[in-house]
Structure 1
Amino acid sequence: MSAWVDRILREFPADLARFWIACDPDNLLLDERILHSLRERGFEVLPFEDSIAFRTEYEERYRTAWDRGEDGSAKALVLQLRGTDMNAIPWDYVREGRKVSLSLADLFPKLSYGVIRHIASEHHEALFEAHNRHATQLLGEGATKEFILTHIFRISPHLISRAEEFWRELLRLHYRGTSLPPLLADHVNSILAEFPDLKDLPVADLLSSRSLTVRVLQDSWDQFLAQNGVRSQRSTDNDRDDARAFSIPFDHPEVRVVVDNMFFEGTLQPVDIEGDPSNLPEWAKVGLKSDANSLRDLVAQGVIRVGQELPGPDSSHRDWSDFARRLGEIIFRFHSLSAQQAHDVHEKVHALQRDADARLTDWASKHFADLPSLPAAKGPVMVHHVPRYLAMRRSAGEERIALLVFDGLAMDQWFQIREHLAARAPNLIVDENACFAWLPTLTSVSRQALFSGLKPREFSDSIETTSKEPSLWTRFWQENGLRKPEIFYRKSLKRSGQLDDLADALSQPSIKVAGIVVDMIDEIVHGARLGKRGISSQIAEWCATGFLERLFFLLAEHGYSVYVTADHGNVEASGIGRLNQGVIPGLRGERVRAYRSAALAASIPDDIDAFRLDLAGLPPDFLPLYAGTRGAFVSQGDQVVAHGGISVEELIVPFVKVSVENEKQ
């Protein structure tokens, strides 16, 4: 156990009390390492957001059992209050709860609180260690910034004066999977602004945004090729000078090695070219689609590199989200190969998928229960966090918001859509992240959670249908200050012919939030006969209709901030045998069955490869049984594309902001 986790746990001695109240203005308890460690000691943490919802869960899952002398869902419960005002809590809770106060200011007494409150929770452990080892005196705001840059982000801005030094440090930072908080990025920018090589660069934006950095690298790669006598097909098709392109020293050894890895792993996309590439250095050909086998080789190398960094049982949810994006890039490229090329690397790709799914299942059994309580301020961790995050964005000034839910969209299929948009609508800017669907990954479970902002146990009466989705979406926004006429919901959007009617509806000035279900992907998946490669071909045909770019541009035209996500993904699965149980299951899926009693859930034949995973966020009488190892409850050996289970492709979905570049200029 780390010193940081141990320091927090010291506030909660075991067996001292059943009910605790933690005044936690900095959300220290809502860190997955802390949550997991407390859970292992018999504590559960429940954020206090709504008095009625909290009381319902507390009484049903904890207090009733405790009054009977039983442990119930946990031996002890911690009410996590984001603040210090006890008046926000019902009086009977204040009377019976044991009080604890937690604060970054108390835990980092030698650092400036105004700075450290901007540091994401994943850095607290390293910062705590650095503080205890190296902070020998009280540090002011400027000194605290320098301390954190040096000890946490390994950047010393005073040692950067040339372009190659900046790009080296920038790429190292983002390749480690992190970005600078805007406060620190602005600090670095103020130091570097005096140097001629750097004064025209958007230093702060690049340091704080990995997605911007990737876009700049991709566009600057086209410029680098042109300087070496080769023109990319992308720049020829767009025929424009891209304002995001800079003269990046790609041939600098320490820059080149990171760029090389980014091409192999799919973060950067190799380009088609016009002209003879013979004058290019050999290393640069990793960024070209120079021959029929280059993409196949990229896939093969990507499998090796990504496979060496598979997350494990103690990895963070961020590690899994990052891995899902990298795996999605590989699968997207794999489905872009010809049949013969795909055959050459088929087994390597599928072995990586199987290994990843096995590790994810192990990880989910230990950590999935911690995800629902994590804060959504910097982005949703789970799909039911999405409405709350969008409400925060409205409070931050985004007056009109459109949420596009692509039913059944897997990460690899989003990357296919993204590449289409990059080619057909290059002024669309995407800022990519990921979040977790709810388990089981079924539409009626995860999509209702997505639109309602609730855990599935909180809509148990409709968990087997999506009929209440519009009312749940409306209720969430009414509880967040909007009137019913300001809230829009529509589903079954899939074709260009529907867009004129949609535009008429969304042009109404009264509309403030729009929830829209785009269900073409789900329709394609459920009709699939040729696996995910066949689905990829059908998605390409759908993209070619121009529906997607028209949809994004019409939303932008009417002033909407556009967010894209999915309720779940999809995966190729093989039949492990049908469950002939008549009408017993409460909910049937090809990858999961849900039962209403433990006895029924235990009634499956012994020779069926399936397992149970009980989650606190589900209704107590909703018991999922999952098909194991990419299996499906269909005839033995049948191949299907399905969802409902636990795999990287089903469980971790895109969460993307899409904007139009010229709106910001």
Structure 2
Amino acid sequence: MSTWTDRILQEFPADLSRFWIACDPDDLLLDERILHGLRERGFEVLPFEDPVAFRTEYEERYRAAWDRGDEGTSKALVLQLRGTDLNTLPWDYVRMGRKVSLSLADLFPRLSYGVIRQMDSEHHEALFLAHNKHATQPLGEGATKDFILTHIFRISPYLLSRPEDFWREVLRLHYRGAGLPDLLARHVAAILKDTSLGDLPIAELLASKSYMVRTVQDAWGRFLSQYGVHSERTSNDLVEVSPEVSLPFEHPDVRVIVDTMFLEGALQPVGAHDSPTDLPGWVKVGLVEDPVALGNLVSEGVRRVAADLPDANATHRDWIELARRLGELISRFNSLSTEIAEPIKEHICKLQRDADERLRGWLVQHYADLPSLPAAKGPVMVHHVPRYLALRRSAGEERVALLVFDGLALDQWFQIREYLAARLPGFSAEEGGCFAWLPTLTSVSRQALFSGLKPREFSNSIESTTQEPSLWARFWQENGLRKPEIVYQKGLKRTEQMAELEDAIARPATRVAGIVVDMVDEIVHGAMLGKRGIAGQINAWCETGFVEKLFLLLAEQGYQIYLTADHGNVDAEGIGRLSQGVVSELRGERVRTYRSETLAASVPSEIDAFRFDSPGLPPDFLPVYADTRGAFVPIGDQIVAHGGISVEELIVPFIKINIKRPAS
């Protein structure tokens, strides 16, 4: 246990009370390490967001058992109040609960509260140690920013006098992290504005990984053009997303990180034939001179990712980053010819199996923490998405469109992204990811996505999607919109359906649109040649122009566009059919669900399956999963499916789409 975690946990001695109230304005308890530490001590944390939902869960899952003298779901429950006003709570809670106050201002008394409250919780531990060791006197706002840059991010903006120094730090920051908080990025930009670096978009480069990658990708194309190599990608980008920027690619510190970004897929190599004889050898990692070269790139990427799989102490961010790297590799692999792919296939499959086994072990310890994590800086699970979009509307995004590409895995998003980057002027994407709900079935995870609820809270409709429109409307009505301002449309997949959508989203009253695009799911369910075959069908779909027309339509109507999925998909192999008649309520290829322990235990022992009772599901909704990459179909059959526990099924894209239009 870390010093930081111990400091928070010491506020909760065991056996003092069953019901606690934590006044926690900075969401300190909603950190996955803290949540895990409390759970190990027998405490559950439940944020007080909806009084009715809290009362229901408290009475049914905790108080009823305690009144009977049972331990119940846990030994103790912590009501997490995001504030300090106890008058907002029901009187019986205040009377019974043991009170605790937690605040960043109290834990970091020598640093500026206005600055540290904008730091992500992943930095709290390192900042706590640095504060206790190095902060010898109270620091103002500017000094606190410098303190954090020095001790947490290892950057001193006053020493970034040369381009190679600046770019080394920018690339290092983003290679394994998420960049600087906006507040710190603007601080660095203000310091450097009167230097030789002042013409660069410094704040954007430091804060946004997607912006940095676009800038480096464009700069790489211009760099190669000096040697007579022209990139189709940049030549079609008729609208500049980022200004023309030159990078010191030749510098060893810059070159080593750029090299790795090409190998792992963050940067896309440029196709070239008969490259010039004077081209330096190190440049070839960013070139594809023939198909074999791309195969070698995939092989090296597999080796690097396999050596860096998350362990049991990883955070959810580590897993989302791993899913991104794995998705880039799979996307590249699926683009290879059969001849080149075949020798690599077993290495890819082993990496997928190893990643899935690690993920399953991690989920046993940490999945229960994910639903409660804060969504202010991005959704951690799909049911956080509506709440995050509501925050974006409050921040000034007046019209918001949520595109749910049903069944879209991360590797398939990267395939679509590359198609759009080459053909849609002004296109860019701020890329992230989030966790679907287990089991990764449409009726479970997509309903959670549109409703903002945990599956336990829509138990009556958990086996179908018929309630999605009303659940989507109810969420937004509870967040201040009227029914005419809310649009929901599903079944979108072809260009000829665009007129009906346009009629709905073009109405002046419309403020939010939830749109289900289900072509990928349709392709998956009809797949005969595995995910490599699906990649070809997705390419053909993209060639129809549907996706780019959809994005342009929404952008022209003034919508901020967010794209996600309810679940992904995975190549699976049959382990045997389950012939149980109507015993199973939902019969997916990767998971079966049952309404009682007796029925769940009826799965024959010779079938390679396992139980994982994830929290947040109704108590009478019990999933049984096919092991590893198995499926409940005839032994040896090869299919593409979803519903189970794998990186490709569980971690889905969450993307903000940007379309920069030409100046009129």
TM-score bin (small chain):
over 0.9
In the alignment, the residues of structure 1 paired with residue 91 and residue 210 of structure 2 have an alpha-carbon distance, to the nearest angstrom, of 47
Equivalent AA in structure 1 for residue 79 of structure 2: L
1:651 — aligned with what? 650
Q: Which residue does 1:256 correspond to in 2? A: 255
Q: 2:592 is paired with a residue of what secondary structure?
A: strand
Aligned to 1:497: 496
Equivalence for 1:78 = 78
CA distance in 2, matches of 1:438, 1:236: 41
Report the alpha carbon displacement of residue 132 of structure 1 after superposing the two structures with TM.
1.2
Corresponding residue number in structure 1 for 2:40 = 40
Q: Deviations over 1:476-516 (max 9, x none)?
A: 00000000010000000000011122112211001100000
Which residue matches 1:271?
270
Correspondences of 1:81-92 after superposition (within 5 Å): 81-92=81-92
Give 1:314-325 correspondences, 5 Å limit: 314-325=313-324
Q: Which residue of 2 aligns with 1:107?
A: 107
Superposed CA deviations along residues 196-234 of structure 1, whole A, max 9, x for unmatched, are 2x1110001110111100010111100100122221222
CA pair 663-9 structure 1, distance change in 2 beyond 3 A: farther
Query: What are the residue-to-residue correspondences of 1:337-416 with 2, within 5 Å?
Result: 337-416=336-415
Output the CA distance in 2 between the equivalents of 1:264 and 1:276. 20
Name 2:422's counterpart in structure 1: 423
Which residue of structure 2 lines up, in the alignment, with residue 553 of structure 1?
552
- The amino acid of 1:354's aligned partner reads R
Q: For 2:237 and 2:16, how far apart are their aligned partners in 1? A: 67
The separation in 2 between residues aligned to 1:442 and 1:91, in whole angstroms, is 40
| Secondary structure of 1:259 counterpart | helix
| Map of 1:474 onto structure 2 | 473
Task: Identify if the C-alpha distance between structure 1 residues 609 and 658 changes in structure 2 by more than 3 Å, giving closer, same or farther.
Answer: same
Alpha-carbon distance in structure 2 between the residues aligned to 1:522 and 1:12: 46
Q: 1:80 to 1:243 in 2, by over 3 A?
A: closer
Indicate if the aligned counterparts of 1:571 and 1:641 stay in contact, CA closer than 8 A: yes
SS at match of 1:124: helix
Question: For residue 571 of structure 2, what is the aligned residue in structure 1?
Answer: 572
User: 2:131 is aligned with what amino acid?
Assistant: H
CA contact (8 A) 1:217 1:245 kept: no
Equivalent residues in 2 for 1:404-553 (5 A)?
404-553=403-552
Per the alignment, residue 98 of structure 2 pairs with: 98
Q: Distance in 1 between matches of 2:204 and 2:60?
A: 47
Q: Give the distance between the partners of 2:495 and 2:246, measured in 1 at CA.
A: 40
Give the match for residue 122 of structure 2: 122
Question: Which residue in 2 is equivalent to 1:635?
Answer: 634
Q: Tell me the equivalent position of 2:169.
A: 169
State the alpha-carbon separation in 2 of the partners of residues 515 and 352 from structure 1.
35
% same residue: 70
Q: Deviations over 1:70-124 (max 9, x none)?
A: 1111110000000001111111101100000000010111111111111100000
Query: C-alpha distance in 2, partners of 1:13/1:240?
Result: 59
Q: What are the equivalent positions in structure 2 for 1:134-153 lying under 5 Å apart?
A: 134-153=134-153
1:233 equivalenced with 2:232 (yes/no): yes
> For 1:443 and 1:237, how far apart are their aligned partners in 2?
37
3-state secondary structure, aligned to 1:277: coil
CA contact (8 A) 2:236 2:425 kept: no
Q: Which amino acid aligns with 1:530?
A: L
Residue 311 of structure 2: aligned partner: 312
Between the aligned partners of 2:88 and 2:135, the Cα distance in structure 1 is 36
Shift of 1:607: 1.2
Aligned equivalent of 2:214: 215
1:166-217 deviations in Å (ceiling 9; x for gaps): 1011111111323111111111111111112x11100011101111000101
Asked if 1 retains the 8 angstrom alpha-carbon contact of 2:273 and 2:290, the reply is no
TM alignment of 1:175-186, pairs within 5 A = 175-186=175-186
Gaps of 5+ in 2: none
Aligned to 1:617: 616
Match of 1:22 in 2: 22
Cα deviation for residue 276 of structure 1 reads: 2.9
The alpha-carbon distance between structure 1 residues 14 and 340, as it changes in their structure 2 partners (threshold 3 A), is same
Return 5+ residue gaps in structure 1 as ranges: none
In structure 1, the residue corresponding to 2:402 is in which secondary structure? strand
Q: How many angstroms apart in 1 are the aligned matches of 2:512 and 2:190? A: 38
Between the aligned partners of 1:664 and 1:44, the Cα distance in structure 2 is: 54
The answer to whether the 8 Å contact 2:238/2:426 transfers is: no
Letter in 1 for 2:329: I
Q: Hey, what's the Cα distance between the residues in 2 that align with 1:497 and 1:132?
A: 63
How big is each residue's C-alpha offset from its partner over 1:521-565, in whole Å with a ceiling of 9 and x where there is no partner?
A: 000000000000110000000000000000000000001100000
Q: How far apart are the structure 1 equivalents of 2:663 and 2:414? A: 24
**SS in structure 2 at match of 1:293:** helix
CA distance in 2, matches of 1:645, 1:410: 13
Please give the secondary structure, in 2, of the residue aligned with 1:231: coil
The corresponding residue for 1:244 is 243
Change (3 A) 1:535 1:116: same
AA partner of residue 658 (structure 1): I
Deviation at 1:616, TM superposition (A): 1.9
Map of 2:293 onto structure 1? 294
Q: Is the 8 A contact 2:433 2:651 kept in 1?
A: yes
Q: Which residue of 1 aligns with 2:52?
A: 52
Distance 1:57-1:414 versus aligned 2 partners, 3 A rule: same
**Residues 664 and 241 (structure 1), Cα distance of their counterparts in 2 relative to 1, 3 Å cut:** closer
Please state how far the C-alpha of 1:618 moved relative to its aligned partner: 0.2
Letter in 2 for 1:29: L
The amino acid that maps onto 1:208 is A
Q: Look up the equivalent residue of 2:535 and give its one-letter code.
A: S
Task: Say whether the 8 Å CA contact 1:230–1:275 is kept in structure 2.
Answer: no
CA contact (8 A) 2:239 2:425 kept: no
Distance in 1 of aligned mates of 2:252 and 2:72: 59
CA distance, structure 2, for counterparts of residue 228 and residue 241 of structure 1: 22
Q: How far does the alpha carbon of each residue in 1:125-154 deviate from its partner, in whole angstroms, 9 at most, with x for none? A: 111111111111111111111110011001
Q: Matched residue of 2:498: which SS? A: helix
How far does residue 240 in structure 1 lie from its aligned partner after superposition? 6.8
Runs of 4+ in 1 over 6 A off after TM superposition: 239-242
The one-letter amino acid paired with 2:16 is L
| Paired AA for residue 270 in structure 2 | V
TM-score normalised according to structure 2 size? 0.99
Letter in 1 for 2:658: S
Is this contact kept in 2: 1:578–1:635, CA < 8 A?
yes
Q: Aligned AA for 2:127? A: L
Secondary structure at the counterpart of residue 626 of structure 1: strand
Give the aligned length.
664
Q: Which amino acid aligns with 1:154?
A: R
Asked if 2 retains the 8 angstrom alpha-carbon contact of 1:232 and 1:274, the reply is: no
Q: Which amino acid aligns with 1:136?
A: T
Which residue identity lines up with residue 336 of structure 2 in the other structure? L
* Aligned twin of 2:4: 4
Of 608-617 and 224-233, more deviation after overlay is shown by 224-233
For 1:648, give the aligned amino acid.
Answer: V
Other structure's SS at 1:279 match: coil
Letter in 1 for 2:148: I
What is the CA distance between 1:428 and its match in structure 2?
1.3
| One-letter code aligned to 1:105 | A
- In structure 1, give the amino acid aligned to 2:94: V
In the TM superposition, residue 275 of structure 1 has moved relative to its aligned partner by: 6.0
Structure 1 residues 236 and 110: CA distance shift in structure 2, 3 A: closer
Displacement after TM superposition at 1:235 (Å): 3.0
TM-score by length of 1: 0.99
Deviates more, 1:174-183 or 1:383-392: 174-183
Alpha-carbon distance in 2 for matches of 1:280, 1:37: 54
Do the aligned residues in 1 keep the contact of 2:608 with 2:626 (CA within 8 Å)?
A: yes
